[in-house]
Chain A
Amino acid sequence: MSLSSREMWQEFSGNKIGLVGIGIIILLFAMSAVAAVTIPVETFKEWNNPASWITFPKSSLPAWVNYFLSEKIPEHKILKNPQTASQTVGEVSIISHGFVVDYEYDSFPSDFIYEYTARYTGTPLLQISVIRPDGVELKLTSTSLPKSATETSYHELIFSTDDSVKKNLRKNAEHFVFPLDLLSAEDVVFSATDTNKVLKGRYVFQVNLYSIDSHTAIKDSKFILGGKIYGLMGTDELRRDLAVGLLWGTPLALFIGISVAVGSVVIGLIYGVFAGYKGKKTDEALMRFNDVIYAMPALPLLIILAVTIGNSIFLIVGFLMIFGWVGIAKVSRSMAMQIKTLQYVEAAKIMGQKDIKVIFKHILPQLLPYTFASIAISVPAAITTEAGLSFLGLGDPTFPTWGQILHDANTFGAAARGLWWWIVPPGVMIALTGLAFVFIGNAMDTIVNPKLKR
């Protein structure tokens, strides 16, 4: 039973499936690192705050679906870095931001929004116009900001659905051969002049701010072109970028899985070995208690615990440990009963070593290979159980997991409405993480129990 770590690795490296498992886990850790580096945890904690996702599109497909479609769906674009220029003509200083949109899609965008914050004194004038691929320039809006005697900061969103935008566009009716009255702003801006079809090409949205105060500045200038596809993973009904949720779910799942597995295996091991080593009354009492926990229906009790005590992620890890250690305790008890009859353990006892020392120095090290295998095998169960709890809506809302993404998907009826990009990736991630640990666990099991080899 005793194997040195080098022997174990030698056997393990010969096991292809085990190596695949290691590979997947390295990949998952890399994903966790990417998540931690690229997406600040503050962004992620805003997951359940609808206000922080307002500029994102609703239930949109991942952007890469366009590669498989002949009719290209417009992509949702959030343009944050405009081409800036400023000039002074006489007394008037002009700040201009230009947003370039290469529009190569086959249908009209759903809307467009300009969001900005201006710092100024007096009453500057904001003008937005668009220069189309065919050279036609359409004026979209011309508005003066509220008057202010002292320097002030003003935040505004200009929507394509604003009446002023529509009114301004109607003034350009002479460019178009069809009536504009019933068309929405984006259908006019992106339309060819002879028929109401999309005009592909480069559009430049030009924002000009005229003011007589030279300290005037525009900050956080954002142009949002509403589309139906977005990002690597699409968005959900609440406009959240699923890529963020999936990426951050990785470290959470690994944390939950590994800490529950390590915790319950260590508890179970010590409990079982102690019972097996002591024997007699102690063993009897400990094993009866073990039977009680073993026979309790875990999921219903977990649900009650989560509802009544709390659903912080650390509490849930604790709850899962309560039910996780039982099976391991049973197996390690029987192993300890075999080991304690070995001569060197008896010798240690006769030499007068304390029980604790015998257990930790002479028995537990013998169980180490088994320990590693059971940790790996316990991980998937922990991950799926947590996912199940989250799926029922009992997860930690400050740290959304893959299970919670699926919970939201289920609440909004994603399956029956065909929103596959909301359902498939989280489940695949859960299964992939579970599989990786199962592969490693099975590979280690065959080393620990040579009987399984054949």
Chain B
Amino acid sequence: MGFKKYILTRVVTMFGVLMATLLVTIALVGSNMDSILKQSVAFEIRQQITDNKALVENFKSPEELDSFIVSQIDQRIKALGLDEPWYSPPRLGLTMYKILILDFGHATFLTSDSGSSNVKDILLEKLPRTILLFTTATVIISLLGIFLGALSGSKVNSKLDRMTSTFAVVSSSFPVWWIGMLMIFVFAFAYQIFPARATPLIPITDPGYIGALLYHMTLPLITLVLIGFGSWAYLVRNFLIGILQEDFIMAKRAAGIPERKIIYTHALKNAAPPIVTVLALSLSGSLGGAVITEAVFDWPGMGRLYFEAINVLDLPVIIGATYVLTAFFLASIFLADILYGYFDPRVRTG
């Protein structure tokens, strides 16, 4: 199997996963959503008709008015296609088609900070913030991790190595959001350096907004880095140790190449494929965990949006956010797969 075919199968699988995830989401929230929509349609029409005094006076009895309202509601429900359940092929097909062309419609309850209820607007407003926070964190974590990992991998069983390993195991046992709460306690209560809530209070149109956002980002960023770089260093260390046992490193040592050069050029280069893969995977993992992390710090990104949407069952937003989260998740897994396949030809034959 060639590399092209390998990529093709991956693309097809990923697309299948994306569709499957969306289908599962729609299946889970669909029936709830239908009843909510029907109720709001009925309410809206009743309001419209009773507000229209001239129309109401035409009816002789309240029963007659009532039956008129009911027939109007039925008409509207039929016009909207709500008379059929969410899983009827035409409706499901339409929903999926709209998602495919990135038309998520309008949110039922939530709005963006600038007041738009278009799901695309909301997502485009929140997404950059999540990317800003989590990519920055991942970049810092991987740089710190690779440096520390190389250092401790080259001095196995030294004090530094033991400290790194212990820190890695301990830090990865704590939930990120709990460390977040502790950080808020320390830096927002005990020493009032950073704000406890990461949503800036000034309006989004203010020129100082970006600066305020960055300042509010510091505490979540420190937390993510603190909890993340330990396990990274441990991982890099383990890859490095594995490679330092290989014959070609022995040969280089025998040839008299300085240990430092062996580690930082030859060994790290060979450890790169798995490291890059893990980098992509950890980015996607942290995006998935964003829901909780953003809830702790009240960071106004995708994760918090998702959680708010779930709480009020705002289906268009849930689907839009699931789509974007899944797409990013898949993109990073895909990237990891491709990179691994590129670096390590053995994988391609699967």
The size of the chain A interface, using a CB distance under 8 A, is 43
Which residues between 7 and 24 of chain B lie within 8 Å of chain A, taking CB atoms?
A: 13-14, 16-17, 20-21, 24
Q: A297-B326, A300-B322, A303-B307 are in contact. Are A413 and B185 (CB under 8 A)?
A: no
Tell me the nearest residue of chain B to A432, going by C-beta. B173
- Tell me which residues across on chain B come within 8 A of A410, comparing CB atoms: 181, 295-296
Q: Decide yes or no: A300 and B291 within 8 Å by CB, A406-B181, A410-B181 being known contacts.
A: yes
> Are B178 and A430 in contact, with the CB atoms below 8 A?
yes
Given A291-B17, A298-B288, A413-B196, answer yes or no on A388-B169 (Cβ-Cβ < 8 Å): no
**Closest CB-CB distance, A18 to chain B, in whole Å?**
13
Chain A residues 306-328 with CB under 8 Å of chain B are 307-309
A388-B175, A415-B182, A423-B185 known; A300 vs B13 contact (CB < 8 Å): no
Contact A380 B173, beta carbon cutoff 8 Å? yes
Q: Are A427 and B156 in contact (CB under 8 A)?
A: no
Q: Let me know if A427 and B178 touch, CB within 8 A.
A: yes
Task: Find A416's partner among B17, B169, B184, B310 (CB 8 Å cutoff).
Answer: B184
Contact with A along B320-331 (1 / 0, CB 8 A): 011001100110
Contact (Cβ within 8 A) A295 B17: yes
Closest chain A CB from B161 CB (angstroms): 11
Q: Which of A295, A296, A308, A384 has the most CB of B within 10 A?
A: A295
Quote the shortest CB–CB distance from A276 to chain B (angstroms). 13
Decide if B241 is an interface residue (CB 8 Å cutoff). Answer: yes
Contacting A418 at CB < 8 Å: which of B169, B189, B307, B322? Answer: B189
CB of A292 within 8 A of CB of B241, answer: no
Contact A295 B330, CB 8 Å, known A406-B178, A424-B182: yes
Q: By the criterion CB–CB under 8 Å, are A292 and B318 in contact?
A: no
Binds A, one of B25-33, B41-49, B64-72, B100-108: B25-33
B28 pairs with A415, CB closer than 8 A: no
Asked if A295 contacts B14 (CB within 8 A), the reply is yes
User: Is residue B177 within 8 Å, beta carbon to beta carbon, of the partner chain?
Assistant: yes
Interface of B is mostly: helix
A389 nearest CB neighbor, chain B only: B292
Q: Which residue of B lies closest to A418 (CB)?
A: B189
Task: Please classify the interface of chain A as helix (H, G, I), strand (E, B), loop, or mixed, using the class held by over half of its residues.
Answer: helix
A427 touches B182 (CB 8 A): yes
* Given A291-B17, A304-B318: A299 in contact with B289 (beta carbons within 8 A): yes
Whether A435 contacts B310 in the complex (CB less than 8 A), given A299-B288, A418-B190, comes out as no
Residue on B with the closest CB to A409? B181
A387 CB-CB contact with B under 8 Å: yes
Establish whether residues A423 and B306, one from each chain, have CB atoms under 8 Å apart when the complex forms: no
- Chain B residues in 8 Å Cβ range of A438: 169, 173
Interface size on B, residues (CB 8 A): 50
Q: How far is the CA of A427 from the CA of B17 in the complex (A)?
A: 34
Report the Cα distance A344→B201, complex, angstroms: 70
Q: Which residue of A lies closest to B20 (CB)?
A: A292
Chain B residues with CB under 8 A of A297 = 21, 284, 287-288, 322, 325-326, 329
Interface residue? A391 (CB, 8 A): yes
B99 on the interface (CB 8 Å rule)?
A: no
Closest to A388 in B: B292
Q: How far in angstroms is the closest Cβ of chain A from B299?
A: 14
A280 at interface by CB-CB < 8 Å: no
Q: State whether the Cβ of A219 lies closer than 8 Å to any Cβ in chain B.
A: no
CB distance from B8 to the nearest CB of A (A): 14
| B271, CB-defined interface residue at 8 Å | no
Chain A positions 256-306 with a Cβ under 8 Å from a chain B Cβ: 288, 291-292, 295-301, 303-305
A391→B173 contact, CB < 8 A: no
CB proximity to A under 8 Å, residues B305-322: 306-307, 310, 313, 318, 321-322
What's the least CB distance linking A21 to chain B, in Å?
11
- Give bound CA distance, A380 to B173, whole Å: 7
- Whether B13 pairs with A392 at a CB distance below 8 angstroms is no
Alpha-carbon distance between A406 and B318 when the two chains are bound, in angstroms = 25
Q: Does A454 contact B (CB under 8 A)?
A: yes
When C-beta atoms are compared, the residue in chain A nearest to B178 turns out to be A427
Is A431 close to B, CB under 8 A? yes
Report the separation of the CA atoms of residues A184 and B179 in the bound assembly, to the nearest whole angstrom: 42
> Roughly how many angstroms separate A303 CA and B318 CA in the complex, as a whole number?
11
Within 8 A of B (CB), among A101-147: none
B155 to chain A, nearest CB (A): 13
Cα of A431 to Cα of B288 in the assembled complex, Å: 21
B25:A415 contact, CB within 8 angstroms: no
A417 at interface (Cβ–Cβ under 8 A)?
Answer: yes
Expressed in whole angstroms, the Cα–Cα distance for A301 and B22 within the complex equals 10
- Pair A431/B174 contact, Cβ less than 8 Å: yes
**B333 within 8 A of partner (CB):** yes
- CA A288 – CA B20 in complex, angstroms? 12
Query: Given B21, B179, B307, B321, which contacts A392 in the complex, CB threshold below 8 Å?
Result: B307
A420 within 8 A of B: yes
Expressed in whole angstroms, the Cα–Cα distance for A384 and B179 within the complex equals 13
Further pairs besides A416-B184, A427-B181: 4, Cβ < 8 Å: A296-B17, A298-B288, A380-B173, A435-B169
B residues with a Cβ closer than 8 A to A are: 13-14, 16-17, 20-21, 24-25, 28-29, 32, 156, 169-170, 173-175, 177-179, 181-182, 184-185, 188-190, 196-197, 241, 284, 287-289, 291-292, 295-296, 306-307, 310, 313, 318, 321-322, 325-326, 329-330, 333
Closest 5 CB pairs of A and B: A416-B196, A427-B178, A415-B184, A434-B173, A295-B17
Identify 21 residue pairs between A and B in the complex whose beta-carbon atoms are under 8 Å apart, listed by A's number: A291-B13, A295-B13, A296-B17, A296-B24, A297-B288, A297-B329, A304-B25, A304-B322, A307-B310, A391-B175, A391-B295, A392-B291, A406-B178, A415-B181, A416-B189, A423-B181, A427-B174, A427-B182, A431-B170, A435-B170, A442-B169
